[in-house]
Structure 1
Amino acid sequence: MNNTIEAILTFWFGELDEHGYAAEERNKLWFQGGAATDAAIRTQFGAVHKQAQQGELDHWAGQPRGRLALIIVLDQFSRNIFRGSGAAFSGDSKALELCQEGLRLQHDLQLAPSEQVFFYLPLEHSENLADQKRCVELYTKLRDAAPPAYRKRAQSNLDYAVKHQEIIEQFGRFPHRNKALGRTSTEQEQRYLETATTFGQ
């Protein structure tokens, strides 16, 4: 496998266990990353991210793990590299296309459960309700297939997917992105943002 692909996946997942799950401590990297994490990703993978956005790494999508690495670079690393700005979402469209095409090719079925979580995440980040419903469906399958010891973790992923879907059902977009994207919030969105969970970005 391409060394850069392997470097991305190793950085993100570490070593998966015998059931295909990453260590729970990875949640800190994935969902609680701060300035140090952002800087590390910017330093190690900033050039790769630029290549991915310019389409120079599209050939990675020819195989499942390469496609997964591209999705992580575009969907996740964008949020680290450009945290707090509209550019944080600049990879979302391409990541979503990679996810949807990968689903048609059944690339996701050749990945481990923790890898599938991030393969599907562009659907959760989409402001399209059909994508949200598909995400909930896929995370439900992951929850149902999870061994008992991993069921709570899989349920948590599903719960977040449901919350994202509910926001899109209510507003048709994610209000917490409005400021970064230069969008004007409606009065209803402003009231929501006063108490809402923002999921980081």
Structure 2
Amino acid sequence: MTAPEDRREWDDVLEFWFPEGRFLSVEAQVHHAHWRWRMQGGADDEIIARFSDLTDRAAQAGLEHWALDPHGRLALIIVLDQFSRSVWRDDARAFAQDTHALSLVMDGLSNGHYSALEMPWFQIVFGLPLGHCEGPDHLQRIDLLIRLREDIAASAPTALRAIYSSLADQARDVRKVIAAFGRHPHRNEILNRKSTAAEQAYITEGQFPHKKAFR
């Protein structure tokens, strides 16, 4: 049984990360601005101020019980996959939770939690670790991510469909990067990895899929 305090905490995460709330009538321009805010680091300062302690608790496996509820699982994925990148930006700890977040996604896809999420923006964010987490099955996971995003775009309200189609395109761009390099080269310096010549050329060009989205 979920304690009221836990539900308040994950509701705080969801209400912060999704200013759209739960209304499909959101205007496309407003929704686009929310995505730009989420994906381009506009929330960093507030995340650090409000959610640093919560992010540390999640990283230490202190919020695992949230995953018993579909929305609690989504909130935990957000904390591990997104808030970590703000709280520990430019530090290897930013990516240290990726495997944990991915396990929550895979379990949520199989146990019905993903399907229980009623908003397309909930489902998009739920699936982010499929592309973020490096590993030997990365291409197969990105193929799954593309299919999920195509399904979301096909069922999204007409006014929002172009936004979700663009997110499917972004996943295809990520697939090209992983197919070429087997990892996310823009992380190499932070993770103390040596870049190949091809990776260095890619890094120098700076056309990373996550940076191009919603510019």
Instruction: Spell out, residue by residue over 1:74-128, the C-alpha distance to the aligned partner (whole angstroms, 9 max, x if none).
Output: 0000111111221111221111110010001121111111100100001011221
Choose the corresponding residue for 2:125, options 100, 111, 118.
Answer: 118
User: Percent identity between the aligned chains?
Assistant: 38
Alpha-carbon distance in structure 2 between the residues aligned to 1:68 and 1:142: 16
Instruction: Provide the rounded CA distance (Å) in 2 between the counterparts of 1:17 and 1:98.
Output: 22
Counterpart in the other structure of 1:107: 113
Is 2:191 the partner of 1:185? no
Residue 185 of structure 2 is aligned with which of 175, 198, 201? 175
Q: Is the 8 A contact 1:20 1:113 kept in 2?
A: no
The equivalent position to 2:140 in structure 1, one of 119, 130, 149, is 130
1:68 Cα shift? 0.2
Gaps of 5+ in 1: none
8 Å CA contact retained: 1:126, 1:132: no
For residues 196 and 32 of structure 1, the distance between their equivalents in structure 2, rounded to whole angstroms, comes to 14
Q: Spell out, residue by residue over 1:5-36, the C-alpha distance to the aligned partner (whole angstroms, 9 max, x if none).
A: 100000000243532868332123201224xx
What's 2:85 paired with?
79
TM-score (norm 2): 0.87
Equivalent residue number for residue 12 of structure 2: 7
Q: Using the alignment, how far apart are the partners of 2:25 and 2:104 within structure 1?
A: 22
User: TM-score normalized by structure 1?
Assistant: 0.92
Matched with 1:160 is 170
Higher relative contact order (CA 8 A, sep 6+): 2
User: Which runs of 5 or more structure 2 residues have no equivalent in the other structure?
Assistant: none
Asked whether the 8 Å contact 1:16–1:23 carries over to 2, the reply is no
Q: Equivalents in 1 of 2:37, 2:131: separation in Å?
A: 19
Please tell me whether the aligned partners of residues 10 and 72 of structure 2 are also in contact (alpha carbons under 8 angstroms): yes
Is 2:31 the partner of 1:23?
A: yes
Q: Deviation string for 1:142-191 (max 9, x for gaps)? A: 11112221110001111111111111111111111111111000011112
Poorly superposed stretches of 4+, deviation over 6 Å = none
1:62 aligns with 2:83: no
CA separation of 1:180 and 1:8: change in aligned 2, threshold 3 A: same
Q: Give the Cα–Cα distance (whole angstroms) in 2 for the partners of residues 23 and 191 of structure 1.
A: 34
RMSD, aligned CA:
1.6
Pair 1:103–1:73, CA change in 2 (3 A): same
| Separation in 1, partners of 2:187, 2:33 | 27
Q: Is the 8 A contact 1:68 1:115 kept in 2?
A: yes
